[in-house]
Amino acid sequence: MIYRALKLVTALAIAIPAIAPAAVDVTDNYDPDNALEISQGAVGTKIGNYKFVDRLNRNVSLHDYAGKPLVVSMIFTSCHHVCPMTTKHLDQTTQAAREVLGEDSFEIVTIGFDTAHDTPNAMNAFAREQGVDANGWRFLSGTPETIDALSADLGFIYFPTPRGFDHINQVTIIDRESVVYNQVYGVTFELPWLVEPLKQLVFNRPESAGHMVASLIDRVRLFCTVFNPASGRYEIDNSIFIQTAIGFIIVLSVSVYLWRGFRPARKS
């Protein structure tokens, strides 16, 4: 698909290190090409049922989200530029996605990977500073062992530096079965890069399988939910359905006309 091709073409340019503002160099440890290769290699990996604590000190397990698509963003709270920008952009794009896919169609988690500092209180303060207070979006803290294991599952690469961290800027989309489905790269990114894979997951509901009406509705929503470059938003394009209906009516009308014209010839 076009959005996936564009994503892969620009990934090397936008999978840049996110560090404290004063840092200007990329450490020798961080290789963008290698980071992208590892990230793409994680697609298809089933993530473990890792345990976290959210910003209100509630216990959370990642498999609690099984059954819905899940969007995962990795940040560190002492970042003063890139991570806040990434989170605010994710807030904007997920709001736009929910407008067309449904408010409860997917969940979001932001996970702090700097375990020494990304405590529940720090994650709570970070969320408040970015103005994020959406339903279905949790900010999580974990142990070093948990973060290492989850990072390996997600293909998320990061290295500590004297002034922060170098890391690949990625948002991971996980399917209903807790399997990595897609990676989205960049501090900011085009809306279709996030919505298209989510749309495929949301409108391919397992409960619709074997039910003709429910399956048809999902198919119509999948093909009629389209991105409008003029408005920069997703919209329901009923014209596709209308054109299909008109085409069906024309074919039916022609068939009836030919059948009526053929009947007298057989009787004579």
pLDDT tens string 14-65: 344 443 332 333 445 678 889 999 999 999 999 999 999 999 999 999 999 9
Beta strands in the chain (DSSP E): 51-54, 59-61, 70-75, 107-112, 137-141, 158-161, 164-167, 170-174, 180-185, 225-228, 233-236
Q: Provide the token pair at 117.
A: 């500092």
Q: State yes or no: pLDDT of 213 exceeds 90.
A: no
CA distance 216 to 147: 41
Question: Coil, strand, or helix at residue 86?
Answer: helix
CA distance 112 to 105: 24
Amino acid at 182: N
CA distance 238 to 226: 10
The residues, ordered by sequence, that sit 6+ positions from 137 with a Cβ below 8 Å of its Cβ are 94, 107, 108, 109, 110
The residues, ordered by sequence, that sit 6+ positions from 211 with a Cβ below 8 Å of its Cβ are none
Instruction: For domain 2-201, give its CATH number from 3.30.70.1520, 3.30.70.870, 3.40.30.10, 3.40.50.720.
Output: 3.40.30.10
What pLDDT does 245 receive?
A: 54
Q: What percent of the chain has pLDDT over 70?
A: 65
Pairing of strands 107-112, 70-75: parallel
CA distance 18 to 79: 8
| pTM for this model (two decimals) | 0.73
Q: Once rounded to an integer, what is the mean pLDDT over residues 99-116? A: 94
